Amino acid sequence: MLGYAILFFIIALIAAVLGFGGIAGAATGIAQILFFVFLVLFVLSIIFGRRRP
């Protein structure tokens, strides 16, 4: 999921450089959402992923 967030961020950067503001804004929003979902899932996997003997 972090890979998709980075991919959308790169797409947003390229679109911004080329002058496509709407596409850059949408890709940035998608990248932010994916990054925060990744962070939440990562923290939950650390908290609940521990196995107790």
Q: What is the pLDDT of residue 36?
A: 93
Q: Where are the domains of the chain?
A: 2-47
Q: Residue 50 pLDDT more than 80?
A: no
pLDDT at 25: 85
- Contacts of residue 30, Cβ cutoff 8 Å, sequence gap at least 6: 8
Residue whose token pair is 């939440």:
40
Q: In whole angstroms, what is the distance from residue 30 CA to residue 12 CA? A: 10
CA angle 46–48–51, rounded 5-degree value: 95
Please write the tens of the pLDDT for every residue from 3-45: 888 888 888 888 888 888 888 888 888 888 988 999 999 999 8
pTM over 0.75: no
The residue type at 52: R
| The token pair that represents 22 in the structure block | 């709407």
